[in-house]
Amino acid sequence: MDFKEFVNSLPNQRSETIAELARICRVSPSTVYRWVNGDFFPDPLKRKVIADYLNISEKVLWPNLWEIYGVKILLHVKLKRETMNVKTVEKAIDE
């Protein structure tokens, strides 16, 4: 059960959980809502704090995160070497 599924599975405690996660991560509740919606991911330290608080591993809460970051890092490295344009981005994604 990933982070979004976990939070959404708490219909009676959802607001309280989001408020508590915001408090322990020292962010606003709207930031936690963005994490739940998948608009953004918490930084590594906040992911660790959340995983510890919920007693669920980071890999379970954010199973696809490593793939997403891997692609972003790969793109960043490749694009720094070449002029950034649409063809370069498409080529980097395909590799």
| Number of CB atoms found within 10 A of residue 51's CB | 18
Which tens digit of pLDDT belongs to each residue from 21-51? 999 999 999 999 999 988 888 888 999 999 9
pLDDT at position 85 over 80? no
pLDDT for residue 1: 83
The predicted model scores a pTM of 0.68
Q: Widest CA span of the chain, in angstroms?
A: 51
pLDDT for residue 11: 83
Which tens digit of pLDDT belongs to each residue from 44-80? 899 999 999 999 998 889 887 766 555 554 555 555 5
Q: What's the whole-number average pLDDT of the chain?
A: 79
